[in-house]
Structure 1
Amino acid sequence: MNSYNELAQILDRLSFSDFYFNQISNAYCQVDFGKRKGKIDFTSIKSAAEQYTYESSGKYSVSIDRQLGTLEETQNAELILQCVEVFDWGGVQASNIIDAINLHRKNELKPYLAECKVWFENDDDLIVALDKLSWSSGWTKVFSFMFELTTIYDSRVAAYINYIFASFFDSLQGLEQKSELTMITKHLVSFKGSGTRVRCLNSELRGMLGVKMKSSDDKRNFKANKVASWFLRYLSKLEYGEVTQANFRKMDKAMFMLGFDIKQIDLRAPFE
C-alpha cells in the first residue's frame, strides 16, 4: 500500500464499513477522566467529537478548530512564533522549541515545513525521501495545524485507531483477509501508556498486525502519522458523508477522547 486510494480500496474490499457501523460508530462507553473532568458518557463517535475537551488557557491564538494561515505567505518571524505557540499549547516545549529555533536561525524552518507539507498532502506516495526528519509529539501538532487532513498522532489517537483495527482484525474470518488488512496496519505504531492509562497494543496483536512500538525511527513515525491521517479521512467519509477539514478534525477529536484509556472502553481489548 502506497496511497490513500489503495487504503480505501483495501477497507472497501474487506467491508470495513459494515463493521464500523455495527461495532464502532454508535458504541456506548463511559470514561473517567479523573477528578477535574470526571466521567463522560459517549453514545457515539459524533458524541465523542462533540464532547472534546482539552485544557488550555484563553491566551492562545492557535486552536484545534482553526488551521493556521497559508505557509507560503507566512513570514519567517511569524512562523517560528506559531511553532512555539503550538508547542506550548500542547505542553510539549522540551527540545521542540530549541529545534525549531535552530532551524529558524539557519533559515531552514519554512523550507523544512514546506517540504513536509508537500509530502503529507500527497495522497499517492508513502515513501519518505525527505532530507531531514524531525518527528515528535510536538511536531505532529505543528504538522496538523499547518497541513490539511493531518492528524495529531499522539498516544491517545494512536490507541483508539489501533483498537479499531485490532477489533476489525478479530472479526475477519479468513487468513487472506487478515493478511490484506496488515498492508495498512504494518505502517502504524503503538505508544506506551501513561502508567495508569492503558494505550499500548499488546505484543501478540502488535506481531499479528505488524504494528511497531513508537521509537526514535522518525521515518517510520512519519509514515505512521500519514497512514493514521488517511484512515481518519476514510472514517470522516463514513461518519459524516464527506471529507472536509472540519469533519476530519471532528474525527481527530473523537479519537483523542476515546483513546484516553482503552481498558475503560473495552476490558477485553488486547492492550497492556
Structure 2
Amino acid sequence: MAGLHVRSVLVTGANRGIGLGLVQHFLEMPKLPTWVFAGCRDPKGQRAQELQNLASKHPNLVIVPLEVSDPASIKAAAARVGEQLGGSGLNLLINNAAMLICDTLENETLENMTQVYTTNTVGPLLVGQAFLPLLKKAAQGSPGSALSCSKAAIINVSSNGGSLSSPAGWHLLQGVSYRCSKAALNMLTKCQSLGYREHGILCVALHPGWVQTDMGSSVGHTPPVTVEASVRGMLKVLSSLGEKDAGTLLDWEGKVVPW
C-alpha cells in the first residue's frame, strides 16, 4: 500500500462489515489521511458503536450521518465534509453502502426491486454528484498528474453477482434485485469514468469477494473471504489503479471481472 496516499477519504456504509474494515485500515496506514469520513445512517445508534469507539481514539475520523437513499441526507453530508475540509478537496470516495434481499424470480416485487436499486445504484450516482465539486477540487490540487486514487477517485463496491457473462453463485442465491442493481452499478461506473475523466477523476468498480459479513452470511453459507483479507486486498488494488483501469470491474486481488 506504499503507493496509496490520500489526504481525505469518505467511506459510505462504514458502521460494519467491509465499510468498517476499510475505515480501520485507513486509520492504521503509515501515511495517515488527514481526514477519514465514515458515513452511516445512524451514527449514534447501537450498530455504530464500534465506529464511535474508533472516533474517540482517532481525532482525524469524522462520523457523518449519511443515508444514501435520501437526497437531503446526501446533500447535508457533502456540506458537512466540505466544511471540515476547508479549502481542500476530497481525494477518495468509496461507495460501499448496499443492501441485499434474498429474493427469487418467483417472489420478486416492485417494492424490493425499487428499494434495492435505490440504495445500490441510485445512491452511488447521487453521492457521486453531490461530492463531485470536492473531488474536482482535489484533482485540481494535482494538475498534470495521472489518474489515481491518490489524486481523485470514485470507487464503487460492486459484485461479480452482477456479471451478465458469468453470474456467480446463482445456485446459492438468486438475489434478483441485488444482481440487477450491481449490473447497473457496473454501467454507472463506466458512465462516471467517461463523464468525470476530463475533471481528473478516476472511476472504478471493485468486487470485494464473497466476504464474511452480515450480508455475505445471509445466504446460509460461510463465505470464504474474511473482511481482513478483502480489505487488505482492495487497498492494495487501490494503490495500483490508473487510467488503464477506468470504468472496469476488478476483484480484491486485482483480477478483471467480466461483466
Q: TM-score, normalised by structure 1?
A: 0.29
More helix by share: 1
Q: Which has the larger radius of gyration?
A: 1
More strand by share: 2
Q: TM-score, normalised by structure 2?
A: 0.30
Q: Which has the higher contact order (CA 8 A, sep 6+)?
A: 1
